[in-house]
Chains A and B, each alone.
Chain A
Amino acid sequence: MLTLWRRQRWWLTPTLLIAPGIVLFFTVILLSAVQSLWISLHDWDGFGPMVWIGFGNYVELYNDPQFYVSLKNNLIWLVMFMAAPPIGLAIALLVNQKIRGMRFLKSLFFIPLVLASVTVGVVFTWVYTPEFGLLALIFKAFGATAPAVLSDEHFVTFAIVIAALWPQITFCMVLYLAGLNNLSEELIGAGRVDGARGWNMLYHIVLPQLTQVTFIAIAVTVVGALRSFDMVSVMTRGGPFGSSSVLAYQMFEQSIFSYRFGYGAAIASVLFVIMAVFIVWYLTRIIRTEERGG
């Protein structure tokens, strides 16, 4: 028996080593995703039996005005989130100087990234509080009254996205700082010798070297915009009247508060498909670079 083990261990051991990770990940995570898709084809309140209704949930979703509100909000998130990489790059460029004290200041800039989303949500709820919040103070300084953004259906999503941008910009900044650290000194030298300065240097010499970092920053930002839940939940619970809801939140609401798990699963599935398109594209890019040895 021992010799059998010895002879086969070159493949047995790795299999055993990777087994727990795979089992756990695949069952809890991947299998769940598939299960949700299955559930979305049923009507279910979480306790009773699941009733097959085929695409009934999806039809209802198609006719649900709240669905379109959520979709629109996700789009607003996506578009506004695209400001994160450039602003992150700007701050990275700002702090990338070897002056005494800069390292400490740099680390202070990172703080929004380390805070829990709840914390950010509460902080900005306080900022937006009418009469007393920071926003109100600023408006008062100019002699005006601040709108109660979190209660105004026209402004609410924008206000929430701005809150979410705080940590998102920070993440992009961290990525770009790392990218700036890896620039080729020689290429910059060649650019200087060629007379490239200021914008020319940034556009022609530096940015091309940051392509990989930009790719990641955009990927993470897109995923963040589509997945957004925490901020909405903490700041407005989707209100006022669902006007700030996003797909992720609507799903949660329908499942937990309305006990419509089938319907919620349908919403989740739609969100999943949207993200799947993005994930597949991203993965094929990665695998292609891996195989090329890049």
Chain B
Amino acid sequence: MYPRPIPEAAVWQRRFYVLGVVVVLLLWLCPLFAIILTSFRSTEDVMGGNLWGWPTKIGVVDNYTDVFTQTPMARYFLNSLTITIPSVIGVLVLSTLAGYVLSRYRFPGNMVIFALFVGGNFLPHQIMMIPVRDLMVRLDLIDTTAALIIFHVAFQTGFATLFMRNFIAALPDELFQAARAEGASPFQTLWHVAIPLVRPALAALAILIFTFIWNDYFWAVVLTVSDSVKPVTAGLANLRGEWVSAWNLISAGTIVVAVPPVIMFFLMQRHFIAGLTMGAVKG
């Protein structure tokens, strides 16, 4: 264990240490606190320039309800869900299939394909922007959730395939040899042997991909125009453009956008961290 664990007996040392960490944490998160506090401000205070003094009125309820009634935030939310959930499913399916084949079958070009999946992951989005946009225009899918779904499934499959491939490669060879000796077809082996064993990886991957897609901004801006299709990320940027100095409202909107990934993170924390480190450390 490194750094050296503070001995269990040194109770006060331990308490002070935790206190110290809390102080650092508060400093670390203070931009967030600033926004949270601002979301509690009433519009009167903001207009009057009273942002940090004692509040004359608590505007929490007003701000947060306004976010949903005065802005298309609810619609943005729905769009995010419509885009993210099908994409995650699509990515999981494709990447597991591809990862299984890449990890368990030797064929010329295996390494090349793998390298392309990894490398494609690092491409700047801008290099794909024009042709992808053009493709969507030609397919008449521009400004639809389908466009974003197609793109995200395609792009995230790169990282996800790397992830699943490494995970399946780490499974003991004997299991697959035993399945083959018993006459299982490749698909049966995948379904009955590989998939049950990679369930934790799938969970970790799902939460990671969910966060990546939900938080995507660039493609939301490029491929969507109308509010009825925009996800929360592009929506928030729009919001800021419209309600320029109503910081109490913008803050509330920011918090609303921030909350879902944070909640998901806390629920699935172990999977999230495991996913990040598995994918990164292995690759």
Contact = CB atoms under 8 A, between A and B. Distances in A.
Touch test A–B (CB under 8 Å): yes
Contacts of B102: 18
Nearest to B263: A114
Nearest to B240: A122
B25 interface: yes
A82 B237 CA distance: 28
SS class, residues of chain A in contact with chain B: helix
Interface stretch (A58-66, A102-110, A142-150, A153-161): A102-110
Contacts of B153: 24
A35 interface: yes
B125 A229 contact: yes
A107 to B, nearest CB: 6
A186 to B, nearest CB: 12
A15 B98 CA distance: 9
Contacts of A185: 1
Contact of B38 (A46, A124, A126, A226): A126
A233 B2 contact: no
A230 B29 CA distance: 21
A174 B273 CA distance: 7
Nearest to A98: B5
Contacts of A26: 116
Given A174-B276, A272-B123, A275-B123, A99 B6 contact: yes
Per DSSP, chain B at the interface is helix
Of the candidates A9, A206, A229, the one having the most CB atoms from chain B within 10 angstroms of its own CB is A229
Contacts of A230: 217-218
A183 B94 CA distance: 34
A115 interface: yes
Contact of B233 (A17, A97, A116, A188): A116
A229 B35 CA distance: 23
Contacts of A109: 25, 28
A98 B1 CA distance: 9
Contact of A115 (B24, B122, B215): B215
A75 interface: no
B130 A216 contact: no
B129 interface: yes
Contacts of A223: 122
Interface string A1-32: 00000000111011101101110111111111
A184 B269 CA distance: 25
Contacts of B95: 21
Interface string A252-294: 1001100001001101110110010011101100110010000
Contact of A25 (B120, B124, B187): B120
Interface in B235-258: 236-237, 240, 247, 250-251, 254, 257-258
A126 B240 CA distance: 11
A271 B124 contact: yes
A32 B128 contact: yes
A17 B98 contact: yes
Contacts, number: 293
B32 interface: yes
B197 interface: no
B25 A93 contact: no
A26 B107 CA distance: 18
A118 B119 CA distance: 26
A35 B130 CA distance: 9
B155 A28 contact: yes
B18 A213 contact: no
Nearest to A280: B119
Contacts of B283: 216, 286
B2 A188 contact: yes
A125 B32 contact: no
A137 interface: yes
Nearest to B262: A114
Interface string B108-123: 0001010111111011
B214 interface: yes
A255 B3 CA distance: 51
Greatest chain A CB density within 10 A among B105, B119, B151 is at B119
A216 B127 contact: no
Given A14-B105, A126-B247, A229-B218, A30 B18 contact: no
B254 A119 contact: yes
B130 A234 contact: no
A84 interface: no
Interface string A27-68: 111111101110100000010000000000000000000000
21 contacts: A17-B98, A20-B94, A24-B150, A27-B154, A28-B135, A29-B155, A31-B131, A96-B2, A96-B3, A97-B5, A99-B6, A107-B265, A108-B25, A108-B29, A123-B254, A134-B31, A174-B273, A213-B281, A216-B283, A271-B124, A272-B126
Interface of B: 1-3, 5-6, 14, 17-18, 21-22, 24-25, 28-32, 34-35, 38, 49, 51-52, 94-95, 97-98, 100-102, 104-105, 107, 111, 113, 115-120, 122-132, 134-135, 150-151, 153-155, 157-158, 161, 185-187, 190, 211, 214-218, 221-222, 232-234, 236-237, 240, 247, 250-251, 254, 257-258, 261-262, 264-266, 269, 272-273, 276-277, 280-281, 283
Given A30-B116, A110-B273, A122-B250, 7 more contacts: A14-B101, A32-B128, A33-B128, A107-B269, A110-B265, A179-B281, A287-B115
